[in-house]
Structures are given as structure tokens and as C-alpha cells.
Structure 1
Amino acid sequence: MRRLVLLALLVLPGCFYPADRGRALEAKVDRLGADSAQMQAELKEAREQLAATLPKIDQKIGEVTKALDGLDTASRRKDADIGIQFQKTVEDLAQLRGQVETYLHKITELETALGAQDQKLLALQGAAAVKEAEAKKKAEELQRPADKNEFLALAREKAKAGDVLVARQLFGEFLKKWAKDPLVGEAHYGLGETYFSESKCREALFEYGKVVQDHPKSPAAPDAYLRSSECFAQLKMKDESRLALEELVKGYPKSAAAKSAKERIAELDKAKAAPPKKGARK
């Protein structure tokens, strides 16, 4: 039962917005997202129309060239017939060029509007969202290892170097690409560490909770309990912090993390048994 209580606490969501404000913000973000999706669809359609029109222009240019080349050899045909055919080809070409200009203008307008919409969306989501978007772009530029172990190593390397936002993108990508792999527990732990390094304890607790709940046999599970205890302590949740240590010692008694947990429990017991300082409230 105590373990279940701990796990319930570990997956607490990290939302800090009041309910009404949060719903209003989400609704506005959803509207902007829907508008962006519509513009993306229109942009795609315009590009497809342009791609379909360009070959027709090439074809018409070829017809005009052929018509010009054939003027000298068309002595058997009436000049009027040749003129009509030539004029029609030129008019078709002009019409196609007009369509291209229309598509190009529409594409430019849509790309400009979409860029402005994305900026609004990022501004609405805050500075953190802007940084996340920049990190995502930076992560996309990295060469991805095909091997899962090397991929995970790359994410850890970025985290160790202090590039936590890029590391977060990579850990998240790993979780999507190898969702059922035994290494998922370690990826969740690595993701939790990126939040822990920024003192985002609620977000970190969620990831540590995924390790101990869904991947208890992962090599990262003992450390996830230990980190959870630290997070609970930072959140002034003393009972939960101690409980995480006790669950660690109970579930992984031979691990190095359990040794650290025993030392911390001993320190807590010593502090609890120490007489209160003079003048302190009882």
C-alpha cells in the first residue's frame, strides 16, 4: 500500500496555472494551432498547384518554339491559320504565367502569415516555449545514430554538457522511436534529470515515477527513487521524501543508491532525535 501511495504522488501533474486561466490559455493556443494547421494545408495546396502548373508552361514554351520553327516550312498552310494557332498558344502561355504569379503570391502571403502565427503561438506559450522551439531546431540539425545505445548516449552527452533542452528533445525522440525497448526506463530517467537540473521537480517526479512504476527492473530505478526523495524534499514533502528512501532500501537493498538512502535515513533519524535548540519552538 505504501508503494502505491508513493507512485500516486510521483505522477502528480505539474500544472501551475489556476483552472480558469489555464483553460482560457489552452483554448487560445488551440485556436492558434487550428489556424496554423489550416494555413499549412492551404500552403501545401498552393505549392502542389504550382508544381502542377510549371510543367504545363514548359510544354507551352515548347509549342511556341515549335510554331516559330515551323513558320518557314508552313507554306502550304494559310497565314491566317498559322497566326490563329500561334496567338492561341501565346495566350495559353500568358494565362499559365498568370496562374504561376497568383500561386507564388499566395504562397508568399501564407508563409508570411504562418511565420507570424507561429511567433504569436510561441509568445503566448512564453519564453520557455521559444527556447524549446530553438532547441528542437538545433536537435533536428544533429546527425542521429541509427543504433539505440548510441542514440541514448548522444542524449546523455548533451545533458552532461549542459545542453539540457536539446537533450530533452533527444530523450523524447528516443521514447517515441523505441517505445517498447528495455532502455525506455533509462530514457525516462535521463529526461527526468534534465528537469531536475533546472529545479523543475514536479516535471522530474513525473519522469522518475514512470521509471519506478513502469520499469522497476531498469538499472535506473534505484536512482529514480533517490532523486524522487530529493525532489520531495525540495517541495517540502518530508514524509514522501523519507518514504521514497525506505522504498528504495526495501526494493533494491544491494544497490549503491540504497547505501546512500540508508545514510540519509540515518541522518533524518539523528536530526529527529536531537534535542531542540535553545529558544526554538517545540
Structure 2
Amino acid sequence: MKKIKIALTGIIASVFLSGCVTTDEFQQMKADIARLYVENNQLKNEISDLKTRVDKMSSDLNTAVALKEGQLTLLAQTQDYVKELQLLKGRFEENSFQNERKFKELSDRISELQAKLTQPTTSTTKEEQQVTKSTQETLKNPKSIYDSAHIDMKNKNFASARQKFQEIIKNYPDFELLPNSYFWIGETYYNEKKYEDAILAYEEFLKKYPKHDKAPGALLKEGMAFLELKDKKTAKVVFERVIERYPQSKEAEIAQQKVAEILKSQNSGKKTTTKKTKTKTNR
């Protein structure tokens, strides 16, 4: 605009200074003025286009800044998640290590019992052989044998009951109460205070039927048997397995109580040892 004004001023000034204008000069002036108007319009369009581009660039810049801020926020959140994940991973690995160690101890303990006892569930005395023979002669179906075994359990004839449950396992693999027979064999040993045999019988039942409704009870009784053997360390591991595997069961509640009792007794033992040490030191 300034260029056009300067040009017009120069033309007008030259007209006044010269005092007269020829036809050619006047036509030239008109052409110059028209050209200047055209250039002015082109300049306006260029300015408008430039302003549009600047506005777009400004908008893009604001968007880029917002995206950058969002990326920084997301990066910070991701870093927090990574830290949390690492903590969880560490806890998981620690718990897995502890569980593997406990289960290995339990497995080793059971292996010791298996090595100590030779065929605990199949060895028979002469009395038990006579019971088996009598059972085979008088009972012809697994339900009758099973019912008879429970009558023996009620009368505390545990050896006789065990032989009948073993007879079912041996000869009636499709019997619907076969899993129960495995469980009750463990019960016969437990009631006879043959705790090592009971542990192996419960373990055999659990390996075959880990999801059976008697599984929580079998695992709990296995822990109780270890307690009876004065093996509190292994008993605690077994009780913790009850809590882990069957958390909603009544057996889990009992197992929690037993774990608390074991920990309490262990702490009491430590306090007693500390007191004895102090007494010896004072002397």
C-alpha cells in the first residue's frame, strides 16, 4: 500500500510540475495505475494467505505442545507402572521361591516316610488276610463292602475296615465311592495312631483326587498327623497348603488356627531360650 501511495504521489507531482500531459503520457499513467491496483490486490491475497498459514502453524504448534505434554504425562505414568510391575514381579518371585522350598521340604519328608515304610497300604497280617477272605466270601458287591467297612469304622475295627476299603480299590475301579475308599484308608491309619501310614494314604488320595470334596479334610488331617509326629515345621507347610488351595473352606479356618498356634509356640520357645541365655550370662 505504501508503494502504491508513493507511486501515485510521484505521478501526480510530475503532472503538476510539468504543467501539461500528452495523450501518450496520460495513457501510460492510467496503465501504471491499473498495474499498481493489480499488484495491490495480489499483495492483499498473499498477505491473507500468509495470515492463514501463520494461524494454521500456530494451531499446529499448540496441538504439538499439547501432544508433547500428553506424551510426557503418559511417559511418567508408564514409568510408574513399570516400577509397580517390578515390585509385583519381585514379590511373586519371592513367594514362588518360598512355596517351592516349602513344597520340596514336604515332598522330601513324604519320600522319607515312603522309604521308611515298605508297602504301607498293601502289607497284611494273618488277621487281616482272614478278614479279607471272609469279606470275599460274604460280600458280593462294592456297596455292601463299603457299608460293612463303615460299620467296622463305627465299632473301631479299623484293620477290618481298611481291608474292605482296599478290597474295593483292588476289585471295583468303577465304583462311585472309590475316592472315598482312599480317604477312609487314611482315616483308619490315623485312628490307629499310625500317623506315618496315614500321611502316605492321605497323600495318595490327594494326588488322585485333588478336587474331591474330601480333599480339604485329607490335607488338613495330613498336617495334623505331622503335628502328632512332633514335626511342626512340615505341619506348618501342610496347613499353609490348605489355606492356599482351599481358602474358603472350614478346613482353611482350622489350618489358620493351627499355624497361629505353631508360630506362638515357636516364639515362646525363642523367648525361653533367650531368658536361659541371659541367666547363664548373669551367673
What's the TM-score bracket when you normalise by the shorter of the two chains?
0.5 to 0.7
Give the gaps of 5 or more residues in structure 2: 1-99, 279-283
Q: What are the equivalent positions in structure 2 for 1:94-243 lying under 5 Å apart?
A: 129-147=125-143, 151-179=145-173, 183-243=177-237
Tell me which amino acid in the other structure corresponds to 2:208. Answer: D
Please state which structure has a larger fraction of its residues in helix: 2
In the TM superposition, what is the alpha-carbon distance from 1:165 to its structure 2 partner? 1.5
1:245 and 2:251 equivalent?
no
Cα distance change, pair 181–240 in 1 and its aligned pair in 2 (3 A):
farther
The answer on whether the counterparts of 2:206 and 2:219 sit within 8 Å (CA) in structure 1 is yes
The answer on whether the counterparts of 2:114 and 2:200 sit within 8 Å (CA) in structure 1 is yes
The answer on whether the counterparts of 2:227 and 2:235 sit within 8 Å (CA) in structure 1 is yes
The whole-number CA distance in structure 1 between the counterparts of 2:142 and 2:251 is 32
In the superposition, the TM-score normalised over structure 1's length comes to 0.52
In the TM superposition, what is the alpha-carbon distance from 1:245 to its structure 2 partner? 0.3
Deviations 1:119-175 (A, max 9, x none): xxxxxx9xx72222232244335434454xx54333222122111121111110111
The whole-number CA distance in structure 2 between the counterparts of 1:154 and 1:4 is 39
The answer on whether the counterparts of 2:131 and 2:163 sit within 8 Å (CA) in structure 1 is yes
In the TM superposition, what is the alpha-carbon distance from 1:265 to its structure 2 partner? 1.0
In the TM superposition, what is the alpha-carbon distance from 1:183 to its structure 2 partner? 3.5
State the structure with bigger RCO (CA 8 A, min sep 6), 1 or 2.
1
Cα distance change, pair 10–211 in 1 and its aligned pair in 2 (3 A):
farther
The whole-number CA distance in structure 1 between the counterparts of 2:176 and 2:277 is 51
1:13 and 2:9 equivalent?
no
Q: What are the equivalent positions in structure 2 for 1:41-120 lying under 5 Å apart?
A: none
Deviations 1:100-133 (A, max 9, x none): xxxxxxxxxxxxxxxxxxxxxxxxx9xx722222
Cα distance change, pair 259–182 in 1 and its aligned pair in 2 (3 A):
farther
Q: What is the SS of the residue equivalent to 2:272?
A: coil
Decide which structure has the larger Cα Rg and report it: 2
Across the aligned residues of Structure 1 and Structure 2, the Cα RMSD in angstroms comes to 2.9
The whole-number CA distance in structure 1 between the counterparts of 2:276 and 2:137 is 57
In the superposition, the TM-score normalised over structure 2's length comes to 0.52
The whole-number CA distance in structure 1 between the counterparts of 2:241 and 2:277 is 32
In the TM superposition, what is the alpha-carbon distance from 1:221 to its structure 2 partner? 1.1
The whole-number CA distance in structure 1 between the counterparts of 2:223 and 2:201 is 13
Number of aligned residue pairs: give it: 171
Cα distance change, pair 6–16 in 1 and its aligned pair in 2 (3 A):
closer
The answer on whether the counterparts of 2:220 and 2:251 sit within 8 Å (CA) in structure 1 is yes
- Percent of matched pairs sharing the same residue: 25
In the TM superposition, what is the alpha-carbon distance from 1:188 to its structure 2 partner? 1.3
In the TM superposition, what is the alpha-carbon distance from 1:204 to its structure 2 partner? 1.2
The whole-number CA distance in structure 1 between the counterparts of 2:107 and 2:273 is 36
Deviations 1:62-83 (A, max 9, x none): xxxxxxxxxxxxxxxxxxxxxx
Tell me which amino acid in the other structure corresponds to 1:13. Answer: Q
The whole-number CA distance in structure 2 between the counterparts of 1:130 and 1:187 is 22
